[in-house]
Structure 1
């Protein structure tokens, strides 16, 4: 969809902002451009809509050399979102969002209807926010309007220049989540500029790590973090890149332990027999519908705990609630956060409605080590065998 062919930008004073840049962005792909200030990432993005003209090479969008396109018409076909949002203060939210469709000649009624659809899509009810003005919105809400306006003409390409950089960390994470949700539905081709490596890792299908005017490495977030191609990339992503990998390493079925499973309405005696046969000190408890309910220790079921178990008791009588669970494929970062939130030694993992097993801190650590080793060695995660310190893999 976007192709750079030996693109260079050199200014009259001899400064080279971008030097012989060649790479492609596939249709529907989101590439994050990340690097320190002055490295050329914003210049790269602005050359796509000709806000900056290259001094050498070619840029093609959907096979068309943009040098032959009218700059104004080109910009109307490319969505553009910036950190300062740039909303018109004298226009309502609805009219701001309808700006580009109106400029493209769409009837006012049609443009406003499209604007209302987009506001709803980004989580702003048009009946509530449509008639407000930008100064009546929070920073996060203005950013949402900026995204909606960029999408209003349904452009195939979206350029985003630090769009969430001006809001606080909590709002920023929420906006990132919303944008990932939108992208999973709309599949736009996106160049996303950021100076934040964690944001780049979280959002990008691939990451372009910039040095001075050039790309040091362009690869998936997992590979950039697990196998930096150059010393510069390794230094830029940081010594804690193993922790950053938590955001891009999914929970897999092979990471899970499988303790015995009982249901809340099972007779306590029968559940106790099952644990005894398995030699297990506890079991995962599922609700009647198969959803995670909690856990139960064997001592409670057998009556060897603090109180004897009634003869007619069910597992529910002695089960201990714990709502910590995740879907298969969730990132390890979410798994760790859930463990900490619930102060839990394990969390249940499900595939749809089916309980698969539990993830413990030890298994989470092993999953991260296998993923990092796999990227460094160029093999699959499932082929990696780890040497562990004796006792380190015991469940908590």
Structure 2
């Protein structure tokens, strides 16, 4: 969808903002541009909608050089979200959101209907917020309106320049979550500029790490964190990149342990026998539909005719997460519930296994080793805690 071919930007004073950039962004891909202030990432983005013109090379939009487009028409085909939002203070939220459809000649009812749909999509009820003015909104709400306005004409490409940088960390995380939800639904081609490596890792399908005017590494978040291309990238992503990697490493079936499993209707005598056979102090309890109910400890009942059914002794379990959730989410949940294990469920809430602190650590190490050896994660196994190896065929 977007391609940069040997693109450079040099200013009259000799400053080189971008130097011989080659970069491809696929349709529906979210690419984060990350680096320190003044490294050229914003200049790169602004050359897409011709707010900056390249000194050399060319920028292609859907196979066509952007220099061939009328700048005004081009910008109406590309959504643009900036940190300062840039809402018109004298227009209502609904009219702000409908700005680009109006400029494209849409009839007023159609433009306002589209604006209302987009406000609802970003979590702002148009019946509540549509008639308000920007100064009546919080910073996070204004950012949501900015995103809605950028999406109003359904542009194929979205440019976002530090859009969440002006809000506090709690609101920023909520906005990131909301945007990830929107992107999963709409699959826009997105260039997202940020100076925050954690934001880049969390949002990007791929990350372009900028040095001074150059991309030092362009790869998946897991690869950037697990195998930095050089000392500069390693320094930029930080010595705690292993912890950052938790947020981009999903829980997979191969990470799970299989404890004893019993059902609510089972006799406790049978459940105790199963736990003893496995040398386990507890068992996972499922209902008749194979969905998680909780767990049962072995020490509460010794079995026998008076022990009753498992349902009598089972405890509810709140610490669970879906397959594919991040290891960071799993780790956070373990801390939140002071849990020694987390249940993992499939899309239909059926029990798949448990993740323990040990298996979480092993999953992280396996992911890092898989990137280093360029093999699928499932092919990496461990003889001991110190000796990673590739599993034999």
Q: TM-score range by the shorter chain?
A: over 0.9
| Residue 377 (structure 1) aligned with residue 355 (structure 2) | no
| Residue 115 (structure 1) aligned with residue 110 (structure 2) | no
Counterpart selection for 1:346 from 337, 341, 345? 341
CA offset digits 1:142-196 (Å, max 9, x no partner): 1000000000000000000000111111111111111011111111000000000
| 2:269 and 2:305 in contact (8 A); partners too | no
Paired with 1:209 and 1:125, the residues of 2 have a C-alpha distance of: 37
| Residue 359 (structure 1) aligned with residue 355 (structure 2) | yes
- SS state of the match for residue 192, structure 1? strand
Paired with 2:240 and 2:267, the residues of 1 have a C-alpha distance of: 48
The answer for the alignment partner of 1:337 in structure 2 is 332
- Cα deviation for residue 282 of structure 1 reads 1.3
- Cα deviation for residue 312 of structure 1 reads 5.3
The answer for the alignment partner of 1:324 in structure 2 is 319
The answer for the alignment partner of 2:284 in structure 1 is 284
| 1:370 and 1:385 in contact (8 A); partners too | yes
The answer for the alignment partner of 1:306 in structure 2 is none
Q: Over aligned residue pairs, what C-alpha RMSD do you find? A: 1.4
- SS state of the match for residue 330, structure 1? coil
The answer for the alignment partner of 1:394 in structure 2 is none
Paired with 2:375 and 2:228, the residues of 1 have a C-alpha distance of: 16
Paired with 1:291 and 1:143, the residues of 2 have a C-alpha distance of: 39
Paired with 2:181 and 2:42, the residues of 1 have a C-alpha distance of: 25
Equivalence map 1:248-263=2 (5 Å): 248-263=248-263
The answer for the alignment partner of 2:126 in structure 1 is 126
| Segment drifting more, 272-281 vs 34-43 | 272-281
- Cα deviation for residue 45 of structure 1 reads 0.3
The answer for the alignment partner of 1:232 in structure 2 is 232
Paired with 2:261 and 2:119, the residues of 1 have a C-alpha distance of: 45
**What residue ranges of structure 2 are gaps of 5+ in the alignment?**
387-393
The answer for the alignment partner of 2:309 in structure 1 is 314
- Cα deviation for residue 267 of structure 1 reads 2.0
| Segment drifting more, 73-82 vs 268-277 | 268-277
- Cα deviation for residue 115 of structure 1 reads 0.3
The answer for the alignment partner of 1:78 in structure 2 is 78
CA offset digits 1:99-131 (Å, max 9, x no partner): 000000001111000000100111111111100
| Segment drifting more, 377-386 vs 71-80 | 377-386
Paired with 1:86 and 1:193, the residues of 2 have a C-alpha distance of: 17
- Cα deviation for residue 276 of structure 1 reads 2.6
Paired with 1:177 and 1:366, the residues of 2 have a C-alpha distance of: 27
Aligned length: 385
| Segment drifting more, 277-286 vs 93-102 | 277-286
- SS state of the match for residue 302, structure 1? coil
The answer for the alignment partner of 1:63 in structure 2 is 63
**What residue ranges of structure 1 are gaps of 5+ in the alignment?**
304-308, 391-396
- Cα deviation for residue 330 of structure 1 reads 0.8
**Normalising to structure 2: TM-score of the pair?**
0.95
- Cα deviation for residue 268 of structure 1 reads 1.3
| 1:293 and 1:323 in contact (8 A); partners too | no
Equivalence map 1:184-223=2 (5 Å): 184-223=184-223
Distance 1:60 1:98, change over 3 A: same
Paired with 1:3 and 1:151, the residues of 2 have a C-alpha distance of: 22
- SS state of the match for residue 165, structure 2? coil
- SS state of the match for residue 80, structure 2? strand
- Cα deviation for residue 297 of structure 1 reads 1.6
Paired with 2:376 and 2:149, the residues of 1 have a C-alpha distance of: 42
- SS state of the match for residue 14, structure 1? coil
| 2:301 and 2:307 in contact (8 A); partners too | no
**Normalising to structure 1: TM-score of the pair?**
0.95
CA offset digits 1:255-300 (Å, max 9, x no partner): 1110111122322122122223333221012234433222212121
Paired with 2:328 and 2:9, the residues of 1 have a C-alpha distance of: 39
| 2:344 and 2:355 in contact (8 A); partners too | yes
Paired with 2:319 and 2:287, the residues of 1 have a C-alpha distance of: 14
Paired with 2:34 and 2:160, the residues of 1 have a C-alpha distance of: 12
Paired with 1:387 and 1:217, the residues of 2 have a C-alpha distance of: 32
- Cα deviation for residue 56 of structure 1 reads 0.9
Paired with 1:356 and 1:44, the residues of 2 have a C-alpha distance of: 45
Paired with 2:182 and 2:286, the residues of 1 have a C-alpha distance of: 33
